[in-house]
Structure 1
Amino acid sequence: MTVHILKPGMMSSLQDRGRYGHQHLGVSPSGAMDERAHRLAHLLAGNTVTQDLASLEITVQGPSLRFDAPALFVLTGAEMNASLDGQPVAMLRPTLARAGQALTMQSVKPGQGARSYLSAYGGFQVESLLGSQSTHMRVGLGGFEGRALKKGDQIQLARPLPNQEATLNKLQAVLDELRIYMPAALALAPRERLRVMLDQADLFTDESLELFQSQSYRISPASERMGYRLEGQPLQRKTAKELLSAPTCFGTIQVPNDGQPIVLMADRQTTGGYPRIGQVASVDLAQIAQRLPGQNLGFEVVTAEQAHALSARQEQAFTRLNDSLEPLRKALEQCVAQV
């Protein structure tokens, strides 16, 4: 029932959709950087849409791990050339690991993203703190001991599969016949410009608002789970007046005094006093989460109504995918019933 970490990779941590409802107390939500990929892994591993179990968020360089009991797992997000006992593992496809098999992941393919997600059927046996299993590494909260994984760690599976050959063979037969139709709205089609809604636009000069929408920014090396710092021609404010601190969101774009925007990410601070020039539409948060320092991005302004319509379309696609995976969930329930 244990997953043994043989090699931790660059930075691997347990993340779910976040620790919400406590930001007014100074607790950052944290959670998966690419929530879209996390949710895909969660559903494709046979978990229900009403659950939010942690997946393993893997950054740039993948880990190696060994299953000491049968498990069903899925990989989504960035391609990292994964193999199970030397056999290639397909992305976005449920894979059955037998007891003793080792999963090995390499580095991300150039230009193919920054983060992969590994979800297991039933999730991992870790404590939920403040309603979430997410790891906030800056404060040592949640996940597995509040930190990134390291060599020698052992994580328990919450719902192990029976180590019975006949039962596992039946499950493998279901997986071989399983047809997965991925809605187009859940694909990560690369975008040069992220869609944003303007926020405190009246604080910036007209020239800066035009520059914000026309130039290409370079992602600074000083970028991580708290925020992505961007490098470009500085944006100018009309006045240098001080602002009251206000709540922040994933995707809030702040502009400090140097005029270089910062896109706040999963481990953001709970409030901020810098002017907010915009908010990245939720459907495009994965676009920046899958970019690496040194890469470029731009912004395209949309209305709140357009952003809401894009989000609704994505949610409808998740619902369709969840409904189509009912045969997989039934097969897994029958398998677990044999334990």
Structure 2
Amino acid sequence: MNRRRFLAAAGLAGASVLAGCGSVENQSTRSPPLVENRPDATYYPTHSEGMKMIGTNQAGEYMVGLTYSYPHRFWTVTGTDTEQVTIRDADSVHLMASVWDPETAMVLPVESGVSIAISADGETVAEKQPWPMVSQNMGFHYGDNYQLDGEGVYEITVRVEGMSERRLGSFEGKFGSAGELTTNFEFARSARDDIAYTEHPDKQGNRAAVGLTNMEMMPTSQVPAPEELPGELLGTKKGSDEVYAATWLSGTDFLDSGQSYLAVSVRTPYNRVPLPMMTLDGTVDVGGETAFDDGLSPAVHPDLGYHYGGVVEATGDPTVTVETVAPSQTSRHEGYETAFLATPTLEF
């Protein structure tokens, strides 16, 4: 994906600035020192930031929500390596775009990408693609820090490309075309600086996570609990802190006679946020013979959520091996940047 830059946001409603942390204006361009000896796992971050709503609107078959917050650091992922993106002095905001299905309210990771064009007074301020990201309180979204040309009204155009992921069930035939919307955003430093900000000196570094923020106008990006997945649950296994839930389906509307479907749902611990952009291989043995040995394709289904799956030309009790060829290539907010980077092989 051509990952050009965009604006994204996230936060914890009702939080407050703690004494001794410096001014909120300074916090808009700085973050506390990172935790020393961070675990190779999900950990409680040094601080949390609130977010403000810009608005929601329909873009073709998609719904899109835009929010913003203070600029903050995050990490990009290439293979199993991460690289920190630091806050620049000129950064004005961190903006977030969330995409979901208007009928089921399921958040949709769109691997083909989202693009943003921002203009003011008829002049283009920026035209970029956001990074796909996971955050403890924001869940999955698209975002980046962004420099604006001062206070004023901006016009933001969001384009969501057609999904390349397999769409199953009632999603079949949907989301194949791009959608676009345009909205206005009035930026004022006083409004940004009024966003909640809190540090976590007593919790930072602990193996835990900040809870997902619930916003009235947008759904949260969670996959179903393992026991709520359709089909026969083959089990759950922990990889490099991420959780794999494997389920085996037969007799569903998207399968032919004699076929089964292996679905592997990979999520963060604590908050069940989906982890897109992984490369998984699967092997399925049924009745002592190999019935499937191939890559597991990214897919979305209203009841399965975002997952990795494959159609198996066999029915019966399976023995499944899942190999992680590459971990999730999504960028990470603080607290996730050291997790989900290994390549385990798991058996169900």
Please say whether Structure 1 and Structure 2 have the same fold, judged by a TM-score greater than 0.5.
no
TM-score after normalising by structure 2: 0.30
Structure with bigger helix share is 1
TM-score after normalising by structure 1: 0.30
